[in-house]
Amino acid sequence: MEGDISQKLLNGAKKTEVEEPTLRELIWTESKKLWVVAAPATFTRFSTFGVTVISQAFIGHIGPTELAAYSLCFTVLMRFGNGVLLGMASALETLCGQAFGAKQYHMLGIYLQRSWLVLFLTACCLLPLYIFTTPILIALGQDEKISHVAGYISHWFIIIVFSFIISFTCQMFLQAQSKNMIIAYLAAFSIGIHIFLSWLLIVKFKYGLAGAMFSTVLAYWMPNIGQILFVTCGGCKETWKGFSMLAFKDLGPVVKLSLSSGVMLCLEFWYNTILVLLTGNLKNAQVAIDALAICLNINGWEMMISLGFLAAASVRVSNELGRGSAKGAKFSIILTTLTSLAIGCVLFVVFLCLRGRLAYIFTTSEEVASAVADLSPLLACSILLNSVQPVLSGVAVGAGWQSIVAWVNIGSYYLVGIPIGVVLGYVLDMHVKGVWVGMLLGTLLQTVVLIVITYKTDWDRQVVLAQARVNKWFVPESRDENGSNTENATA
């Protein structure tokens, strides 16, 4: 009897050892991890994008000159600063994600402080652009009155640019730990306050542009204050061990990875800007630019979903690589890509069916609405590509391939997409459609190349590389805690 019981227990133990979760269980588990990052990240990006749209709407009621100046500053200056700092901050996604997966929790706080230093120096280098905006715009042939107002707005933008340092780094620090619901709550609170303050200062008390910019600055800084308090006051006990002099050590590799990340993302961000610039030189440019602006506005809102999946792909891949699971990284890539693609397919069909009807949300012009309807198939294709391409960029960030993707972007976008767009738009007289087709072909080529790279990658080797990176910059926790005033001061 005793032998039978022992035999049953041994059999039960063996069963437990070999028993693996079913495919359905794996999908359910990974989906939960995916949406824990993707949902708050998407909402946060919608809210941040909404701050700009709300500011633009209220400034439009102040006057056409103020609106033109704000639009110019946002399109050129804000996007430039945003692209550079967001790109450089994405290095933190690689470092924090892999360190968290490797359970080197205390290193996340050190990486965060190193990223603050790198981004602060970068923001200081960008200052002349915002200080001398007026003479720069006048030299570029812009209207003098608009340039002077833009110069005033750009001085306010300096405060916003420095807010990106805290915003981007804290978001990536928290995302690596799947703790980004707090970011979504803060973003929702911030946009609510922004709407109320904009109405109060502009409509009620008539403070004009100063009131609008004060409310905008506050909307960008409020979430930062909340994030800093959450990180430093107990919300991240395992990953934040206090300020450390170790933040000043090993900055070289962080700068190198940050520069690669910055180049990679900036090349993508500036691609659409070049599309607008090329369109501005075509015949009947006013209608073309209006129609394109509407399409890019819709595309921009949809892109917030894609950027949420970019964040999720980056976090999941970096966590799995840091944990040492090549199989987990591959499964995460497949599931994230298929989930994002499914959403993209639904939106593709929706925008194909709606066509020009969406234009009437933004304009009353029949001519512009007709032009939007004509561009709708291209918009739908862009949305479909956006459902895959950002996920693959997120995979690249998670694995630390930023420099490779930067070269892929140069080849796909600037050596293929733009030249084809110029030939189709100008030489073959396809106008804005030709330019956009060229740009889409560049994006398609980039997507195909990234799919091939991802498919051909030896993920077991990527695990080794990730663990080598994590171990190379590893600092024992005891040294960080006990030597913060002595050892760290000489590190």
Predicted pLDDT at 461: 93
Alpha helices in 387-458 (DSSP H): 389-399, 402-409, 418-422, 431-456
- 91 pLDDT above the threshold of 90: no
| Domain spans in the chain, listed from the N-terminal domain onward | 35-249, 268-474
Q: Which residues contact 252 (CB under 8 A, 6 or more apart)?
A: none
Percent of the chain with pLDDT over 90: 47
Residue 429 burial (C-beta neighbours within 10 Å; 0-12, 13-18, 19+): exposed
| Dihedral (CA of 411, 415, 418, 423) sign | negative
Distance CA 320, CA 228 (A): 27
Q: Token pair for residue 278?
A: 């090329």
Whether residue 163 is predicted with pLDDT greater than 90 in this model: the reply is yes
Please tell me the predicted confidence (pLDDT) of residue 72.
Answer: 80
How far apart are the C-alpha atoms of 59 and 83, rounded to whole Å? 24
pLDDT, tens only, 359-368: 777 667 777 7
Distances (CA, A) of 366 to 290, 298, 354: 12, 18, 15
DSSP helix/strand/coil, 111: helix
Distances (CA, A) of 69 to 58, 143, 233: 13, 10, 40
Which pLDDT score, from 0 to 100, does residue 17 have?
52
The whole-number pLDDT of residue 482 equals: 42
Is the pLDDT reported for residue 488 higher than 70? no
**pTM of the shown model:** 0.84
Q: How deeply is 164 buried, as exposed, middle or buried, from its count of CB atoms within 10 A (0-12, 13-18, 19+)?
A: buried
pLDDT at 286: 58
Compare 72 and 150 and report the one with higher pLDDT.
150
Higher model confidence: residue 27 or residue 302? 27
* Integer Cα distance of 13 and 484 in angstroms: 47
Which residue do the tokens 């550079």 mark? 84
pLDDT at 186: 94
The mean-pLDDT minimum among 113-117, 200-204, 222-226, 407-411 falls in: 407-411
- 287 — pLDDT class (breaks 50, 70, 90): low
Contact 109/244 with Cβ under 8 angstroms? yes
Q: Distances in Å between the alpha carbon of 459 and those of 29, 176, 329, 355? A: 21, 20, 8, 42
| Three-state secondary structure string covering 295-318 | HHHHHHHHHHHHHHHHHHHHHHHH
Q: Where are the beta strands (DSSP E) in 235-307?
A: none
- Position 411: which residue type? G
Per-residue pLDDT tens digits for 374-431: 888 888 898 899 899 889 989 998 998 888 888 898 899 889 988 998 899 888 888 7
- Of 71-80, 240-249, 318-327, 371-380, the poorest mean pLDDT is in 71-80
What is the pLDDT confidence band of residue 439, given thresholds at 50, 70 and 90?
confident
Span 443-471, average pLDDT: 91
Task: Please state, in angstroms and rounded to a whole number, the distance separating the CA atoms of residues 438 and 444.
Answer: 10
pLDDT of 487 above 50: no
Asked whether residue 194 carries a pLDDT value surpassing 90, the answer given is yes
Question: Please, what is the average pLDDT of the chain?
Answer: 85
**Residue pointed to by tokens 């409509």:** 203
Taking alpha carbons only, the member of 81, 225, 215 closest to residue 166 is 225
Report the alpha-carbon distance of residue 241 to residue 233 in Å, rounded. 10
Q: How close are the terminal C-alpha atoms of the chain, in Å?
A: 66
What is the average per-residue pLDDT within 293-297?
75
User: Cα separation of 150 and 143, whole Å?
Assistant: 10
Q: Does residue 481 surpass a pLDDT of 50?
A: no
Percent of the chain with pLDDT over 70: 88
Position 221 scores a pLDDT of 96
- Cβ atoms of 352 and 435 within 8 Å: the answer is no
Residue 22: how many CB atoms within 10 A of its CB? 9
**Integer CA distances (angstroms), 105 to 34, 290, 463, in order:** 20, 49, 18
